[in-house]
Amino acid sequence: MAAMLDGDLFGDNDAGVRHPLGAQAWVLRGVALPCMAQVRQGLDAVLAQAPFRAMHTPSGLPMSVALTSCGSLGWHSDERGYRYVHRDPVTDLPWPAIPPAWLALALQAAEEAGFAGFAPDACLVNRYVPGARMSLHQDKNEADLSAPVVSVSLGMSAVFLWGGHARSDQAARVALHHGDVVVWGGVDRLRFHGVMPLPDAPHPSLGRQRINLTFRHAGRPGAI
């Protein structure tokens, strides 16, 4: 059975603590809490321009997680495959800009994890409801794999699956809570990861949902 990294070690009472997941991967507990009001305002602004939408895998299977994006590039999935696009396919408008508070948070977290100079050009916004999950996968659609991934958790707590470089590798289970940030890059950039089915434990302010912001540099290296 995979290890469960929670309780006293990875609980919800250790804000400000950094937990290593790998040589170049960290859980930064509660890093987003001090700027949560601005983060929530940014979420409202992004969703007003690019609402959540249901997507399907290239094989036609529905995803249980609703998605949208902001930044110069947004993530999209259809029968043509997974890819980044410059315009929202729903509205045919450019994706909304990454809110300044989000960008500041992503840069702060990346620097704390050892990735100074991170310049995200895309932020995927995922919405989980009870029962929704994300299967083990690698983030490898980005042109710039030298940049890290910065992942911010909002709302309901979830169990993050942190695997190895092969899908068959045993995955650790990491409890993530409102305000936690996970950063991975370098030798850990292509580790498999996912989210277990979300338990129905509503968050006091965000209710029966978990919002996940994931920042990447998806374009060619050096481009914004």
Q: How far is CA 57 from the centre of its chain?
A: 18
Query: For 127-136, how does the pLDDT look when each residue is reduced to its tens digit (9 = 90+)?
Result: 999 999 999 9
Q: Average pLDDT in the 138-163 region? A: 96
What is the pLDDT, as a whole number, of residue 220? 73
Whole-prediction pTM: 0.92
Q: pLDDT (tens digit, 9 = 90+) per residue, 65-101?
A: 999 999 999 999 888 888 999 999 999 999 999 999 9
Model pLDDT, residue 222: 53
